């Protein structure tokens, strides 16, 4: 059986848990920042990030590659190039805000007027406005993998209060519209 290694709070992990909700797999919750789980992660994945998939000894790193691996295995169609770009934009915001969160946890004031913080904030702002428009155009009306990734990003931003979404009405409406899905509530980082 496929084993998905991750944490309940990571948006990169949650997207796969939701996407795989109808596919038999085991979820292994890790504490990646210290202790024996970190040693296990280092032993299996030199990139030292989650998610990580173990499919009968085939160990695959990175959510995007795991998505490709499972799609290939289950003969799911490939995303369109527009969807690939949407995933890249979603991942860019996710990566920037993971950096901001890790800096905050390192007691660094990320509101300081510093180039590094400004670049992350500008990327998040411009990317989220772009995604807000894409939602308005109907690109995320279906519950496909890019929609799942967008939902996990928006919900995590709200959970960790990482960015101001007050002007992003379509993103907020998209969040509300998908909030009560069973696989969404089952993977809520606040309760799981
Ligand atoms: N590109 C990777 C990003 C994964 C990622 O950044 N995961 C975070 C958790 S949300 C992580 O493991 N961070 C550990 C670290 O940065 O040291 C993916 O799509 O899987």
In the chain, helix, strand, coil percent, each to 5? 55, 10, 35
Tokens coding 145: 């993998």
State whether 64 and 88 are in the same domain: no
**115: domain CATH number?**
1.20.1050.10
Q: Considering the entire predicted model, what is its pTM?
A: 0.97
State whether 49 and 138 are in the same domain: no
> Does residue 23 belong to any structural domain of this protein?
yes
**What is the per-residue pLDDT for 65?**
98
Ligand 1 in contact with 155 (CB < 6 A)?
no
Ligand 1 in contact with 149 (CB < 6 A)?
no
Nearest CA to ligand 1 atom 1: 62
Ligand 1 in contact with 63 (CB < 6 A)?
yes
Q: How far apart are CA 150 and CA 102, in angstroms?
A: 21
Ligand 1 centre to CA of 50 (Å) is 5
Question: Is the preceding omega at residue 51 within 30 degrees of 0, hence cis?
Answer: yes
- Tell me which of 35, 54, 73 is where a domain ends: 73
**What is the per-residue pLDDT for 192?**
78
Question: Mind listing the pLDDT tens digit for each residue in 28-79?
Answer: 999 999 999 999 999 999 999 999 999 999 999 999 999 999 999 999 999 9
10 Å CB burial of residue 121 (0-12, 13-18, 19+) is: middle
**What is the per-residue pLDDT for 188?**
98
Domains in the chain, number: 2
What contacts 177, CB < 8 A, 6 or more positions away? none
Which atom in ligand 1 lies closest to the alpha carbon of residue 102? 16
The SS3 call for residue 182 is: helix
């Amino acid at each position: 059986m496929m084993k998905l290694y991750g944490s309940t709070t990571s948006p990169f992990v949650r997207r796969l848990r939701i996407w795989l909700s109808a596919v038999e797999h085991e979820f292994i919750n890790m504490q990646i920042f210290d202790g024996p789980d970190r040693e296990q992660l280092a032993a299996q994945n030199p990139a030292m990030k989650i998610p990580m998939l173990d499919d009968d000894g085939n160990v695959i790193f990175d959510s995007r590659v795991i998505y490709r691996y499972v799609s290939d295995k289950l003969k799911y169609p490939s995303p369109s190039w527009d969807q690939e770009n949407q995933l890249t934009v979603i991942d860019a915001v996710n990566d920037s805000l993971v950096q901001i969160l890790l800096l905050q946890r390192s007691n660094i004031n990320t509101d300081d007027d510093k180039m590094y913080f400004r670049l992350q904030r500008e990327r998040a702002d411009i990317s989220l406005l772009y995604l807000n428009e894409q939602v308005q155009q109907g690109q995320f009306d279906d519950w496909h993998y890019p929609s799942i990734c967008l939902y996990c990003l928006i919900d995590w931003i709200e959970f960790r209060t990482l960015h101001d979404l007050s002007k992003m009405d379509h993103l907020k409406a998209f969040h509300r519209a998908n909030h009560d899905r069973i696989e969404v509530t089952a993977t809520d980082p606040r309760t799981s």
